[in-house]
Structure 1
Amino acid sequence: RLIEAAGADRVALVEVHSDIAAKGFRKSVLIEATRSFAEYYLSSGFEKAYVVAPDRNATPRARRLAEAIEGEVGWVEKTRDKETGFVTSTEGVLNPAGRKTILIDDIISTGGTIIEAIRLLKSKGASKISVACVHGIFVGNAYERIMDAGASGILSSDTVETQYSNISVAGDVVRTLREKGWL
């Protein structure tokens, strides 16, 4: 309620980690960045690519992108050690062998989840792995570690402006706000 107390009468949220965040506001809209990412991948030779979520909770985002590029969707099972924070990825539903693969998540901070998923995808024969995130924070050397793990590239939006931001989701924001009558 602090944001509303400061005078905001509505809030637009881009690709929130959990839809529960929107429930904290009386008037909010959730904005998906699928179209911007799909347009990029369709123009970059990734049509019909295999789209993978790094954990089951990210599957809806991966499914939206897969549908937009006429690809298939899969996911990795993730386990996080509660004491150390170390992430272990195991096979969920995966069939990347010989295919261009897009590994998409909402946020990348340290890169641990993505790196483990890349290792698993490589072991399953993915031919090329592009990593995508809406909110790229890239703490420390996370970007370099992801590339060293075997990513062919990283697509990161401008919701968190960093030196690695290379795609704008402004079109998705404007489109959604117009559809909702906010513009």
Structure 2
Amino acid sequence: MYDNLTLMSGRAHPQLTTEIAEYLGIVPASLEISNFPDGEISLQLMQNIRGCDVFLLQPTGPGVNDNLMELLIMIDACKRASAARITAVIPYFGYARQDRKDSGRVPITAKLVSNLITKAGADRVLTMDLHAAQIQGFFDVPVDHLYAAPILDGYVKSLRIPEDELVIVSPDEGSIKSSLMHLDNLGGTLAIVDKRRTNALETKQANLIGDSLEGKTALIFDDLISTAGSIVGAAKIARDHGATRVYLGASHAVFCGEAYNRLREADVTEIIVTNSLPLKEDHLLKNLRTISVAPLLGEAIRRIHSNESVSYLFD
């Protein structure tokens, strides 16, 4: 169906690659990946990709260093195998938190990783819900930046929450723009949690700014849930201000550190995330709802391969 389209996956999230391949009606390319005794990654492509339009799927989530290095090695292997074009499909882009120098003597890791991916030989990058949108400008190759908001909002609409009972709660001031995107799609009103970061691991939620939550349903969206400290703190603020139900939503379920324990103990109705990252089956929460982004990424891959507009997917 697709001339020379080749989809392959590293070890970070093969299940998502399988779902995308099913959407496209193709079979993922075969490759062998293993580790030498000292931990170095060994990789070999098991089919000819000369002249092919190659899409490499590899989210760089936990463990980020191994997944990133594996992506770079895959790109290098495809480049040396004479692929016509290489697109790095990175549903979750790791090392994105340090996107600027906010104090002295610190790195800008988002720019460093962008350079590594470009220098390794990627001709294009397809990603989703970057921690900071300006990271697109760190690349010297085209970047297609997708948003999971329409998918998450589609599920929320199926819950049929009355618009006059709905309040979109931004977990901090930095998430106001994305919260407004959800507000446009779902209606309701807006409230903002006043969050102060005490250090790299801890945050403190102080006040609520905006519409009253008394007797309302609160929807708290963030781009990612890492240790869950921020979003669970925002949920507590919402409950303290009278919300009868609280839903949490995030594009990326990083879920590290105390995340599972905090979410399990949180007084929330449901946690809605995408499968941009694999979830630990033995830790799954009863109130966790996972929405697949395979159709979104698959359609983007189809459009890129066919030289069609991708902006249709995130306008």
Structure 2 length-normalised TM: 0.53
Aligned to 1:91: 208
Cα distance in 2 for residues equivalent to 1:46 and 1:147: 23
CA distance in 1, matches of 2:159, 2:264: 18
- Structure 2 partner of 1:54: 171
TM-score of the superposition, structure 1-length normalised?
A: 0.88
Give the superposition deviation at 1:166: 0.8
In the TM superposition, residue 85 of structure 1 has moved relative to its aligned partner by 3.7
Alignment partners' CA distance in 2, 1:132 and 1:62: 11
| Correspondence list, 1:139-178, <5 A | 139-163=256-280, 164=284, 166-174=290-298, 178=303
Moved more, 104-113 or 162-171: 162-171
**1:64 aligned partner:** 181
Q: 1:106 to 1:47 in 2, by over 3 A?
A: farther
CA gap of 1:61–1:175, structure 2 versus 1, over 3 A, is farther
Q: Is the 8 A contact 2:223 2:251 kept in 1?
A: yes
Distance, in Å, in 1 between the alignment partners of 2:202 and 2:273 is 23
Which of 189, 193, 198 is equivalent to 1:81? 198
Highest RCO, 1 vs 2 (Cα 8 Å, sep ≥ 6): 1
Query: For 1:100-148, what per-residue CA distance to the aligned partner results, in whole angstroms no more than 9, with x for missing partners?
Result: 1111101111111012111110011011001011111111442342242
Q: What corresponds to 1:14 in structure 2? A: 128
| Structure 2: stretches of 5+ with no match in the other structure | 1-114, 304-308
Aligned alpha-carbon RMSD (Å): 2.2
Kept after mapping to 1: 8 A contact 2:191/2:208: no
Residue equivalent to 2:246: 129
Q: Percent identity at matched positions?
A: 24
Rounded to whole Å, the distance in 2 between the matches of 1:101 and 1:167 is 20
What is the SS of the residue equivalent to 1:166?
Answer: strand
How far apart are the structure 2 equivalents of 1:88 and 1:123?
A: 15
Residue type of the partner of 2:202?
Answer: F
List alignment gaps of at least 5 residues for structure 1.
Answer: none
Q: CA deviation at 1:13?
A: 1.9
Three-state SS of the structure 2 residue aligned to 1:159 is coil
Q: In terms of mean alpha carbon deviation, does 38-47 or 125-134 score higher? A: 38-47
Deviation of 1:92 after TM superposition, in Å, equals 2.6
User: For the pair shown, which has the larger CA radius of gyration, 1 or 2?
Assistant: 2
Q: What per-residue deviation string (whole Å, max 9, x for no partner) do you get for residues 48-99 of structure 1?
A: 22111100111111111121112222211110113x7431112233422111
Cα contact 2:167–2:213 (8 A) shared by 1? yes
Instruction: Say whether the 8 Å CA contact 1:59–1:74 is kept in structure 2.
Output: no
70-79 vs 44-53, which moves further: 44-53
Partner of 1:35 in structure 2?
A: 150
